[in-house]
Amino acid sequence: MVAPVVRPILVCLEERVAVRRGFSLVFAFVLLAVGGLLGILPSLARGIQPPIELELVEVNKVWDFAPHNAFTDLIRFQGQWYLSFREANSHAVSGDGDVRVLRSADGANWESVALLDYGPAWDMRDAKLNITADGRLMLNTAAAPLASISERQSLVWFTDDGADWTDGPHEIGEPNWWLWGVQVHPTSGSVYGVGYGDITTNPRTTRLYRSENGIDYQTIVPTLTGQPETGETSLIFRSDGSAVALVRDNTGVERSFVGTATGDYTDWTFRQIDKRVGGPELIELPDGNLLAATRLHAPVVRTSLSWLDPESGQMTELLTLPSGGDSSYPGLVWHDDLLWMSYYSSHEGKTSIYLAKVRVHLTSPPLPPDRAGVMRFQEDAEPTPWYSAGAAHIRTDSTVGESDLVIVGETADHEKTLRGVFGFDLSELPDGARIVDASFTLFAQRDNIDGSDGPSVDGEFTLALHRLVAPFVEGEVNWTSRAVGEPWNTPGGDFEDVPLATLTANPYRLLTNGPGYTWSSDALIAAVQASFDEGKTLDLLACSPDGETQEDRVVYYFHSDDALDPARHPLLLV
Residue 82 pLDDT: 98
Residue 258 pLDDT: 95
β-strand partners of 25:
388
Three-class SS state of 531 = helix
How many CA atoms does the CB half-sphere of 258 hold within 13 Å? Answer: 26
Selection from 149, 237, 150 nearest residue 192 by Cα: 237
- What is the Cα–Cα distance from 141 to 159, expressed in whole angstroms? 15
Supply the DSSP symbol for 132. Answer: -
Three-class SS state of 573 = strand
Q: What is the CATH number of domain 54-362?
A: 2.120.10.10
Residues 395-432 have pLDDT tens digits of: 444 455 556 778 887 776 666 677 888 888 887 788 77
Q: Are 516 and 431 in contact (CB under 8 A)?
A: no
Residue 545 pLDDT: 82
- What is the Cα–Cα distance from 398 to 479, expressed in whole angstroms? 7
- What is the Cα–Cα distance from 205 to 207, expressed in whole angstroms? 7
Q: What are phi and psi of 467, to 5 degrees?
A: -95, 130
Q: What are phi and psi of 344, to 5 degrees?
A: -125, 155
Q: Is the pLDDT of residue 185 over 90?
A: yes
β-strand partners of 328:
344
- What is the Cα–Cα distance from 345 to 60, expressed in whole angstroms? 12
Question: Which pLDDT band holds residue 454 (cuts at 50, 70, 90)?
Answer: low
Residue 450 pLDDT: 64
Q: Is 328 left (phi over 0), alpha (psi -120 to 50) or beta?
A: left
pTM, entire model: 0.62
484 vs 572: which has the higher pLDDT: 572
Question: 28-32, 295-299, 417-421: lowest mean pLDDT where?
Answer: 28-32
Q: From the CB of residue 79, how many other CB atoms can be counted at a distance below 10 Å?
A: 6
Question: 358-362, 381-385, 460-464, 555-559: lowest mean pLDDT where?
Answer: 381-385
Q: From the CB of residue 135, how many other CB atoms can be counted at a distance below 10 Å?
A: 9
Q: Which regions of 51-203 does DSSP assign to beta strands (E)?
A: 52-63, 68-77, 80-88, 98-104, 111-116, 122-124, 128-131, 137-145, 153-159, 167-172, 177-184, 191-197
Most confident of 39-48, 315-324, 443-452: 315-324
Cα 228–chain centre separation: 22
Residue 453 pLDDT: 59
The CA–CA distances, whole Å, from 317 to 54, 308, 321, 467 equal 10, 9, 11, 33
Question: Which pLDDT band holds residue 167 (cuts at 50, 70, 90)?
Answer: very high
Residue 37 pLDDT: 29
Instruction: Give me the mean pLDDT over the 119-141 stretch.
Output: 95
Residue 38 pLDDT: 31
Q: Are 273 and 256 in contact (CB under 8 A)?
A: yes
Selection from 206, 263, 201, 199 nearest residue 235 by Cα: 206
Q: Is the pLDDT of residue 176 over 50?
A: yes
Residues 233-269 have pLDDT tens digits of: 999 999 889 999 999 999 888 999 999 999 999 999 9
Q: Which amino acid is at 497?
A: D
Q: Are 375 and 437 in contact (CB under 8 A)?
A: no
Q: Which regions of 411-513 does DSSP assign to beta strands (E)?
A: 417-424, 439-442, 444-446, 461-467, 501-505
- What is the Cα–Cα distance from 556 to 174, expressed in whole angstroms? 60
Instruction: Give me the mean pLDDT over the 118-138 stretch.
Output: 95
Selection from 476, 449, 563 nearest residue 516 by Cα: 563
Q: Are 227 and 257 in contact (CB under 8 A)?
A: yes
Residues 513-556 have pLDDT tens digits of: 766 888 989 899 999 999 998 888 898 888 888 777 777 778 88
Residue 472 pLDDT: 67
Residue 309 pLDDT: 92
Residues 38-57 have pLDDT tens digits of: 346 554 444 577 889 999 99
Residue 25 pLDDT: 24
As annotated, the residues of the chain forming the CATH 2.120.10.10 domain(s) are: 54-362
Q: Is the pLDDT of residue 394 over 70?
A: no
- What is the Cα–Cα distance from 26 to 18, expressed in whole angstroms? 11
